[in-house]
Amino acid sequence: MEPMVHAYGINYGDGGQLVMHSFLGGMVGVLLAPWMISKLGKKPLLLVALGLIVIGETVYVCQPPWEWMLVAAPFAGYGLGTMEAIVSAFIIGASLGNANVAMSRVEVFFGVGALIMPFAGAALIAKGHWIAAFGVVGAMAVITMILWVLFWPTILDRPAVQHADGGDGITQKLKLSRIIAVLAACCTFFIMYVGTEMSFVHYLPSLLVQSNGLTDGAASLSLSVFWGAMVLGRLVAGQLADRWGGAAYLLATSCISLVLFVLMGGFGGPWAMFLLTFGAGLAMSGMFAIALVFANRALPGMTERTISLLMACGGIGGAFLPRFTGWFLDENGADATRWLFAGYALLMLGVVIWALLVSRPAKQPVQNAHNARLHSTHS
């Protein structure tokens, strides 16, 4: 973000506009993926998505006028969102009972990629070739496309297995008002979480440059610190959530995140920021996956619809909060923006508490239905 702002002579709010365009495209990709699969098929749609990523990154590399960058962003975002939805469906459908473990491993590799890329970006920025970072992403998309063509797993061509576990009957026992309340709370959480994470990732280097006088390359290494902590945290997040319970995990990590962001507001030195950034990465590492599981358990029988809706809400947060954060940084400076992140964390904690409260009554009919099935089985 930082070298792009300087190269184009734009404001941080304009940079946030590019992020917003990309995430809006991704949100459309996530929402349309099930319908597009039914029309095109899995393999053609995945290849089209990768092709759109290649086209978008190629446009970025050409460094066209800013208006064309904004035009290309939704197409690249659409490809990324579609690919995310398709691959997630592949993993869940093919792993059967091991879906949680499989998805956790995928998130670890996602974190590894996010950890490595800032190092590559920092090296390119240091040599004055920041625009080449887009070329690296485009080349990786081409390689990925070739690998999918050559090594397409035949298991993915099989029809999805439908599990008849009575989920729809249980869902009907939940009051509509309670379903709406749980969905509203969970949707708000995903808007805040993804929006906060994306805002922090995009503007953390800029905060370090403005407040601490770091070079663009040195500041970008803070992203590797953040994603490195994310990788480590995701290795144990599932086990911790199983031990504590998903609700307790979300509450604890939200509280820790709030404390860390408040400390960032008060201690803005470079070493303190790097250390607190590492802590924030650990605290936030498992929130997305554990919140998905929490929502699906609170609303049984609605898995596909719930996941699609929550991922779309994450796209909304990832589109609009960085835009607002960029404007706020332009208007109020780096010090105030650090406190803005503390405000985001406070809102996130409030939403978690809201979700926990409204989900409790929703679980009671589910438990009664489960007990009734057990009673009829043993009768």
73 is in which domain, residue-wise? 2-160+169-371
pLDDT reported for residue 53: 94
Structural domain contains residue 244: yes
Take residue 1 and report the two structure tokens written for it: 């973000």
274-284 as b/e: b if 16+ CB within 10 A: bbbbbbbbbbb
Count structural domains, the chain. Answer: 1
Burial status of residue 191 (CB atoms within 10 A of its CB: 0-12, 13-18, 19 or more): buried
pLDDT reported for residue 374: 42
Take residue 174 and report the two structure tokens written for it: 């939940």
Structural domain contains residue 378: no
Q: Spell out the per-residue pLDDT of the chain, length 379, in tens.
A: 678 888 888 887 788 788 888 888 988 888 888 788 888 888 999 999 999 999 999 999 999 999 999 999 999 999 998 888 788 767 655 655 555 566 666 777 877 777 777 677 778 877 878 888 889 889 999 999 999 999 888 766 665 544 444 444 444 555 788 888 999 999 999 999 999 999 999 899 888 888 887 777 788 788 889 988 988 998 888 788 888 888 899 999 999 999 999 999 988 788 899 999 999 999 998 898 888 888 877 887 676 677 778 888 888 888 789 889 989 999 998 899 999 999 999 999 999 999 999 987 544 444 444 444 444 444 4
Structural domain contains residue 345: yes
Is the Cα torsion angle 54, 26, 246, 91 positive or negative in sign?
negative
* CA separation for the pair 112, 191 (Å, rounded): 24
CB neighbours of 305 closer than 8 A, spacing ≥ 6? none
* CA separation for the pair 112, 232 (Å, rounded): 10
* CA separation for the pair 233, 348 (Å, rounded): 19
Structural domain contains residue 379: no
* CA separation for the pair 2, 285 (Å, rounded): 25
pLDDT reported for residue 162: 46
Structural domain contains residue 208: yes
Structural domain contains residue 377: no
- CATH code for the domain in which residue 358 is found: 1.20.1250.20
Place of tokens 């190629």: 58
**pTM for this one?**
0.73
* CA separation for the pair 149, 278 (Å, rounded): 38
Structural domain contains residue 82: yes
pLDDT reported for residue 325: 92
Take residue 86 and report the two structure tokens written for it: 């398709």
- Helix boundaries (H) for the chain: 2-8, 12-40, 42-61, 66-95, 99-126, 132-150, 167-173, 176-212, 216-244, 246-266, 270-284, 287-298, 303-378
Structural domain contains residue 131: yes
**If you compute the radius of gyration of the chain from its CA atoms, what whole number of angstroms results?**
21
